[in-house]
Structure 1
Amino acid sequence: MATPLLDKVEDESAASPYITVTLRIRRFNPEISDESRWEDFSIEIDPKERVLDALHKIKWDVDGSLTFRRSCAHGICGSDAMRINGKNRLACKTLIKDITSIDKKTGAPKPITVEAIKGLTVLKDLIVDMDPFFQAYRDVMPFLVTSGNEPTRERLQSAEDRERFDDTTKCILCAACTSSCPVFWNDGQYFGPAAIVNAHRFIFDSRDEAGEQRLEILNDKDGVWRCRTTFNCTDACPRGIEVTKAIQEVKRALITRRF
């Protein structure tokens, strides 16, 4: 006759939260081959855990050569942007249960596809060359420009003036928006949504004095007019920034010179 303690252990075992999922990862190692390939990894994981946890489990327990970026693991640093099931997401904010679907034929969970973001050169596995992305960011002068003497206290600003650009201060430079843009895919010379968002943040800052300079930079043939308003960038933003709206406001400022 089973003891109450053993019954409890058996009940807990029967109610295990773990499920078996397959991560189908696009691998690329230039030291081995010029071609990328898909590789499947089946692991047991709590569906309430994140894709980043699954990648850690694979790297630490299955294949240490798997390469990806991550840092804070809390959706703040933006390091782990990647394409998960065909959409740009942060691996640290994407729960397994939210992207797992069941194959009607087999009754088993469908594979979760993971690959590097598009439009930037893949260096290895899920890591891309971010230099062109950050160069576009630097080109729009993402810093406060003022004249006169340095103030003896903080530069004051009304709540209303701050609200004008508050949304675009949320950018974490993850590149999810820029690498979801079909214009950027076709021509990497386009500044891209993230650079325009960060220009917007200063163009509409009442304390800044370089709005005209930034507008002229974005008036370039590779600037804001390349946007085709597909809303991919807004859909991809993990911070909920209204990216397309910000781009349209920059276009309007270029036409009216009012900002």
Structure 2
Amino acid sequence: MGTATLEKNDSAGPVDSAENSASHLITVTLRIRRFNPEVSDEPQWQDFTLEIDPKERVLDALHKIKWEIDGTLTFRRSCAHGICGSDAMRINGRNRLACKTLIKDIGPDKPITVEAIKGLTVLKDLVVDMDPFFQAYRDVMPFLITSGNEPTRERYQSAEDRERFDDTTKCILCAACTSSCPVFWNDGQYFGPAAIVNAHRFIFDSRDEAGEQRLEILNDKDGVWRCRTTFNCTDACPRGIEVTKAIQEVKRALITRRF
């Protein structure tokens, strides 16, 4: 009897486990703004209904749709851990990383809207043309510039000097801040918050010698003075960078020439 009971329990275990797992699933609807230039010039909203664990992420839901329902759904993603920044999109009207947004945190009892970030040309579905964004990033020279010969040892820096620009080293170039900016929506020539943040990271680096040059770049008509301090960028940053503060510090450095 003992052996029979054990065998019965063993065989029932996986079934119970599957039932318990299924009991955690909820039915959600993702309302995705689709765009395919080969089919139509106008985007259209499409609903997808699926069962998913509420503790899973929006990225998991998108994967489920692409792998099991509609393989034509197009979006970017890579690391799926909030580091690569490639899956930034508008979820329920806010810029977020799909891999960091849990289903349970965004009102799954109503349709969850998913669309491409604003201000950049949509190529297909949730994929936008990132070239203008990365061009602005390159334009601010986001690398250490020093004079003289290559060093034979590391360039020393105090903890205090390092802390001065610590916040802006966290940028993952997801474009969530830039594509949340109303100025950028209306004028794609504006450098945008992300480029200014990455300029800040080197302007205030005590080892760098090109601060003045970067400030002159940002003093341009499409530079830092276009910022209207709406705080959208700070709210949108998935890394918690105080973007608006960094922009104000660059403005102050332009006025005082102290950095």
Q: TM-score, structure 1 length as denominator?
A: 0.93
Partner of 2:179: 179
State the number of aligned residues: 250
Residue 155 in 1 paired to residue 155 in 2? yes
What one-letter code is carried by the residue in structure 2 that aligns with 1:250?
V
What one-letter code is carried by the residue in structure 2 that aligns with 1:115?
E
* Rounded Cα–Cα distance in structure 1 between residues aligned with 2:93 and 2:80: 21
What one-letter code is carried by the residue in structure 1 that aligns with 2:49?
S
* Rounded Cα–Cα distance in structure 2 between residues aligned with 1:246 and 1:45: 39
Identity %: 89
Partner of 1:17: 24
Change (3 A) 1:12 1:53: closer
Residue 154 of structure 1 deviates from its aligned partner by: 1.1
Partner of 2:202: 202
What one-letter code is carried by the residue in structure 1 that aligns with 2:106?
I
* Rounded Cα–Cα distance in structure 1 between residues aligned with 2:142 and 2:16: 59
Change (3 A) 1:93 1:11: closer
Residue 88 in 1 paired to residue 95 in 2? yes
Residue 54 in 1 paired to residue 61 in 2? yes
Partner of 1:105: none
Residue 13 of structure 1 deviates from its aligned partner by: 2.3
Change (3 A) 1:31 1:159: same
Partner of 1:70: 77
* Rounded Cα–Cα distance in structure 2 between residues aligned with 1:187 and 1:196: 16
- RMSD of aligned alpha carbons: 1.5
1:91-110 deviations in whole A, cap 9, x for unaligned?
00000000125xxxxxxx10
Change (3 A) 1:120 1:13: same
Residue 138 in 1 paired to residue 144 in 2? no
What one-letter code is carried by the residue in structure 2 that aligns with 1:28?
F
Matched position secondary structure for 2:99:
coil
Residue 218 in 1 paired to residue 218 in 2? yes
Residue 183 of structure 1 deviates from its aligned partner by: 0.3
Residue 153 of structure 1 deviates from its aligned partner by: 1.1
Task: Give the number of the structure whose residues are more often helix, by fraction.
Answer: 2
What one-letter code is carried by the residue in structure 1 that aligns with 2:60?
D
Residue 33 of structure 1 deviates from its aligned partner by: 0.4
* Rounded Cα–Cα distance in structure 2 between residues aligned with 1:182 and 1:115: 17
Residue 37 of structure 1 deviates from its aligned partner by: 0.1
* Rounded Cα–Cα distance in structure 1 between residues aligned with 2:53 and 2:68: 16
Partner of 1:28: 35
* Rounded Cα–Cα distance in structure 1 between residues aligned with 2:127 and 2:154: 39
Partner of 2:239: 239
Partner of 2:128: 128
1:158-189 deviations in whole A, cap 9, x for unaligned?
00000000000000000000000000001111
Q: TM-score, structure 2 length as denominator?
A: 0.93
Runs of 4+ in 1 over 4 A off after TM superposition: 3-12
Residue 8 of structure 1 deviates from its aligned partner by: 9.2
Residue 10 of structure 1 deviates from its aligned partner by: 5.7
